[in-house]
Structure 1
Amino acid sequence: MGKLNELENDPLAPLLLSYNDFPPMIKLCFLYCAVFPKGYNIEKDELIKLWMAQGYIRPIGNKEMEVIGQEYFDYLATRSFFQKFDKDDEDNVTRCKMSDAVHDFAQFLTKHEYFSIEADGSEESLTKTSLEKFRHSMLVLGRRASFPVSIFKAKKLRSLLIHSEFEVSFHVLQGLFDHLTCLRALKITGKVSWGQNSIYAIPKEIEKLVHLRYLKLSLLMREELPDIVCELFNLQTLEVEHCPRLKRLPQGIGKLVNLRHLIYYYSNLDYMPKGFERLTCLRTLTEFVVSGGKYSGKACNIEGLRHLNHLGGVFRITGLGNVTDVDEAENAELEKKRNVVDLGLWFDKDEEGEEADHEEIIEALKPHSNLVALDILGFKGKITFPKWIMSLNNLKSLHLRSCEKCEILPPLGKLPSLETLYIAGMSGKRVGDEFFGIGSDCNIAFPKLKFLRVVDMFEWEEWGFGITRSNVKEDVMVMPCLNYLDIQFCFKLKALPGYLLEITALEKLEILCCPILEQRYRKGTGEDWAKVAHVPTITINRQYVQGIF
Structure 2
Amino acid sequence: MALGGEESEKELENSNLVEIGKEIVVKLKGLPLGHLLYAKKPEHHLWLAFKDNELSRVLKQRKETQFMLSILELSYSPLQFSLKQCFLYCAIFPKDYNIPKDEVIKQWMAQGFIKSIKSISTLEPNDIGEDYFMELLSRSFFQDVTRNEMGDIIKFKIHDLMNDLACSIVKNEYVTMDEKDKVVIERTRHISIYHKFGIKFGSFKLLFEAKNLRTLIIDAPTHNGKKALNLISTKFLQWRTLCLNFAYATPSEVLPKSIGKLKHLRYLKIMLFHLLFLPNSITKLHNLETLIFDGCKRLQELPRDAENWMKLRYLSLARNWEIKLLPDFIAALHNLETFILQDCSLLRELPKGIKKCVNFKHLDLHGCSALTHLPKGLGELTSLQTMNLIVLKKDTGCDLSELNRLNKLKGKLTIKGLEVCTADDLEMNSFNLPLKLGVLK
Q: TM-score range by the shorter chain?
A: 0.7 to 0.9
For residues 96 and 360 of structure 1, the distance between their equivalents in structure 2, rounded to whole angstroms, comes to: 38
RMSD: 2.9
Question: In the TM superposition, what whole-angstrom CA distance separates every residue of 1:472-491 from its partner, at most 9, and x where no partner exists?
Answer: xxxxxxxxxxxxxxxxxxxx
User: What is the Cα deviation at residue 7 of structure 1?
Assistant: 11
The structure with the greater share of residues assigned to strand is 1
- The 1:188–1:198 alpha-carbon spacing in structure 2 relative to 1, beyond 3 Å, is farther
Where 1:30 maps in the other structure, the secondary structure is helix
Offset from partner CA, 1:244-293 (integer Å, 9 cap, x none): 2222111112320000000111114222212222201111112499988x
Structure 1 gap ranges (5+): 293-298, 348-354, 400-549
1:28-427 counterparts in 2 under 5 A? 28-60=85-117, 61-62=120-121, 63-119=123-179, 125=181, 128-130=183-185, 132-147=186-201, 148-150=203-205, 151-190=207-246, 194=248, 196-197=249-250, 199-268=252-321, 269-287=323-341, 301-302=351-352, 304-316=353-365, 321=372, 329-330=376-377, 332=378, 334-346=379-391, 356-357=394-395, 361-364=399-402, 366-372=404-410, 373-381=412-420, 383=422, 386=426, 387-392=428-433, 393-399=435-441
Q: Structure 1's 7 and 224: CA in aligned 2 closer, same or farther, altered over 3 A?
A: farther
AA partner of residue 11 (structure 1) = M
Say which one has the larger Rg. Answer: 1
* Percent of pairs with identical residues: 29
| Structure 2 residue aligned with 1:23 | 80
Change (3 A) 1:13 1:374: same
Question: Higher mean Cα deviation, 12-21 or 355-364?
Answer: 355-364
Q: Give the Å deviation of 1:339.
A: 3.4
Q: Cα gap change, 1:92/1:321 in structure 2, threshold over 3 Å: closer, same or farther?
A: closer
Q: TM-score, structure 1 length as denominator?
A: 0.61
Whether the 8 Å contact between 1:152 and 1:175 is mirrored in structure 2 is no
The superposition leaves residues 88-130 of structure 1 with CA deviations (integer Å, 9 ceiling, x where unpaired) of: 11222111111111000000000120010113xxxx655x452
In 1, Cα distance between equivalents of 2:132 and 2:421: 50
Q: Displacement of 1:189 after TM fit?
A: 1.4
Higher helix residue share: 2
The alpha-carbon deviation at position 360 of structure 1 amounts to 6.5
1:220–1:258 distance in 2 versus 1, CA, 3 Å:
farther
Question: Residue 142 of structure 1 contacts residue 165 of structure 1 at CA under 8 Å; is this kept in 2?
Answer: yes
Compared with structure 1, are the counterparts of its residues 6 and 55 closer, same or farther at alpha carbon in structure 2 (3 Å cutoff)? Answer: farther
Equivalent position SS for 1:329 = coil
- Provide the secondary structure at the position in 1 that maps to 2:270: strand
Distance in 1 (alpha carbons) for counterparts of 2:279 and 2:169: 40
Amino acid in the other structure paired with 1:329: K
Distance 1:291 1:171, change over 3 A: closer
**SS state at 1:86 partner:** strand
Aligned-partner Cα distance in 1 for 2:289–2:238: 16
Following the alignment from structure 2 to structure 1, what is the Cα–Cα distance between the partners of residues 413 and 350? 24
One-letter amino acid of the counterpart of residue 344, structure 1: L
**One-letter amino acid of the counterpart of residue 271, structure 1:** L
- Could you tell me how far 1:383 is from its partner in structure 2? 4.2
Question: Scaled by the length of structure 2, what TM-score is found?
Answer: 0.75
